[in-house]
Structure 1
Amino acid sequence: MLAAPDRPEVVRAAELEAIGLPRRTISRRCLPGGPWQSLLPGIVLLSNGKPSDEHRGRAALLHGRTGAVLTGTYALRRHGLERVPEEEIVHVLIPASRDIADVGFVHVERTTRLPRPHPKGDLLIAPVTRAVVDTARRLTDEDEVQSMMAEAVQRRFCTAEMLADELDQGRTAGTAMPRRALAPLLAGARSVAEADAWHLWRRSGLPPGRWNAPIYDAHGNHIATPDFWCDEIALAWEIDSYRYHASLEGHRATLARNARYAAAGIVVLQTLPSRLRAEPGKVAVELRAAFRAAQARPRPNVVLKEAA
């Protein structure tokens, strides 16, 4: 038996021929209703059930031949990232000297910079940094790119600086939009909403500040880690989503945080993420008003510590 019934394998038709199966027998078994199926030209799944993601990844690697590495959204899902665009295509990298074309669900990219793969079972997967950039270069929605990059950074798969380095080292085609999306993350933003806030603050004409840096009182007690902090006047700006703060636990955490801000004498402005795009002018007015209020009182004795 070529494969256990409970674990079908993906193989080349040439391998089946090499162990004595005639080509016509292989073709017949891959006909509709047969026990096998053809995943790609010359590549057979020894089962007639729906191919799994692992089957498709294995088929893509076989199509790319020796040295091929899976990248893009397929690789990111295998690494465990969640904010990844839905895509049926399996993106595979191959050596630049090899001439292999796209076929079926496989997108083939020739490269002189094959990454050192991370094995996931019997699949060879590109590192997260490379897979994020390879995905970003093919997307057209900046929010999708920012969300994907933010998750990779926030969950410590990589740093924003590592993504910037990967963009610098690779091909320039398709990198203009990923570079724009990455700019707020390099400044410390961690989400699409915070990226929107970063752009709005820059347009406001107010002094620069820090994103996601912890604040402590005079006794060394942690007060909060505001989304944005203007240290010059001790002003905190929180981008508070309804989804999180409407829960009982989230509501309690928000009230406790605001109480610590008040006790420390910190002026805090809270903004819903949706307003950053729907009402940017009004939010900018509120920002300037909060800035003037913070500026008008003596700066409290609180200390900024740069995020690690």
Structure 2
Amino acid sequence: MNHNTPLSPLPLSHLADVQRRVLSSAQLRAHGVSAARTASQCRPGGPWQLLLPGVYLLHPGPPTSEERLHGVLLYAGRPVLPAQGEARSAPGFGEAMITGLAALALYQFSSAPPLLSLDRIDVLVPRTRRLRSTGCARLVRAHGMPRPKEITGVPVAPVPRALADAVTQVADPNAVRRLLTEAVRAGHCEPAAVVKELSRARLLSRPHVVGAVDSLLAEGRALAEERLYELVRTQQLPEPVWNVDLRLPGGPHLGGVDAYWPGQAVALELDTRAPRHGEDAQWSEQARKREHLERLGITVVHLTPKKLRESPEQQATVVRTALMAAVQRDPAAYVVVLPR
């Protein structure tokens, strides 16, 4: 017996019961179909067709979007055959996952083109995978594979990674800006995660990406501020003074804060910064400002956009606790509060 020998002499009609109409050569063998029989089925005018090397479409018509996705994954993934007792139609996607514009379409980005309009589907694979891009499959290699999210049975790269891979292929500045802005506005991810992936992909030096990132950070900042206003209102926190500068009387400027409760000497800052090359000095300045305020007896609360979005009640408790603890502290230094 060799690897082309069918495991059981089943008639081809039994494949009509297979849930997916795209199978790899290994899966066909597991269904009892020999390589010779597969080749016969794929002859001109035959009922099957070769979709990608080693991947077959079990009907003669054009593939659907779902079939193209499954075909690309079967081509790129290491063959994974079902264990004994499992359904023979289990897909063998291995570590492969959809990324780029196709992934964003699966996440239902309105700014991403529909799947059927994409000539090629990006698929993320480990860098050691020895395959080439071919047909509708474009391989994207990764040193470390992220944890995929499953959408309609398809493993999909996380949004930040998918965005970075999409931006690699998109040259239109407006299209890049729309993709990045939608990712934040629709709540798919935070700006910092996107910038991190763009930096990893060495895309931040591209002129059409720089402007899009600036818009992304501005959008993220605006959304975080809206969530902070809503937090104070819905969680019935005392109303602070918003967006103010703090100064010592007749002395130096201490820095700006997003919210300040003068009676309790509690300052709040939204940490909307995203790590970008060359900004270490800015990060150090932020740390020095916080240390200076705390030496003056002012409590500084830092909230991140992600925490505001995912756990607003918990963040309200953090702020409320800081306000309540003010009565137990020594009085803070007097500071002048000015609008920004």
Decide which of 81, 84, 107 is 1:79's aligned counterpart: 107
The secondary structure found in structure 2 opposite 1:39 is strand
The secondary structure found in structure 1 opposite 2:119 is coil
Decide which of 209, 212, 218 is 1:181's aligned counterpart: 212
Partner of 1:49: 61
| Unpaired stretches in structure 2, ≥5 consecutive residues | 1-12, 79-94, 234-242, 245-304, 309-340
**Cα RMSD (Å):** 3.0
Deviations 1:222-256 (A, max 9, x none): xxxxxxxxx89xxxxxxxxxxxxxxxxxxxxxxxx
Aligned CA distance change for structure 1 residues 173 and 2 (closer, same or farther; 3 Å): farther
**Structure 2 residue identity aligned to 1:150:** T
Percent identity over the alignment is 30
CA distance in 2, matches of 1:6, 1:35: 15
TM-score (normalised: structure 1): 0.58
Aligned CA distance change for structure 1 residues 2 and 173 (closer, same or farther; 3 Å): farther
TM-score (normalised: structure 2): 0.53
Deviations 1:76-132 (A, max 9, x none): 111111111452211011111121100101101221021110112332110111111
**Structure 2 residue identity aligned to 1:21:** V
CA distance in 2, matches of 1:100, 1:154: 37
Partner of 2:92: none
Residue 156 (structure 2) pairs with residue 125 (structure 1): yes
Residues 95, 111 of structure 1: 8 Å contact kept: yes
Residues 181, 215 of structure 2: 8 Å contact kept: no
CA distance in 2, matches of 1:166, 1:22: 44
CA distance in 2, matches of 1:107, 1:71: 10
Residues 70, 92 of structure 1: 8 Å contact kept: yes
Deviations 1:159-178 (A, max 9, x none): 2222112223x231586232
Residues 198, 204 of structure 2: 8 Å contact kept: no
Partner of 2:184: 153
Residues 185, 219 of structure 2: 8 Å contact kept: no
Task: Tell me the CA shift for residue 46 of structure 1.
Answer: 1.5
Deviations 1:276-304 (A, max 9, x none): xxxxxxxxxxxxxxxxxxxxxxxxxxxxx
CA distance in 2, matches of 1:2, 1:102: 32
Decide which of 194, 197, 202 is 1:172's aligned counterpart: 202
CA distance in 2, matches of 1:123, 1:184: 31
Task: Tell me the CA shift for residue 182 of structure 1.
Answer: 1.3
Residues 68, 92 of structure 1: 8 Å contact kept: yes
Partner of 2:86: none
Q: Which runs of 4+ in 1 moved over 4 A?
A: 5-8, 210-214
| Unpaired stretches in structure 1, ≥5 consecutive residues | 190-209, 221-230, 233-306
Residues 72, 137 of structure 2: 8 Å contact kept: yes
**Structure 2 residue identity aligned to 1:171:** A
Task: Tell me the CA shift for residue 44 of structure 1.
Answer: 0.5
**Structure 1 residue identity aligned to 2:164:** V
Residue 70 (structure 2) pairs with residue 39 (structure 1): no
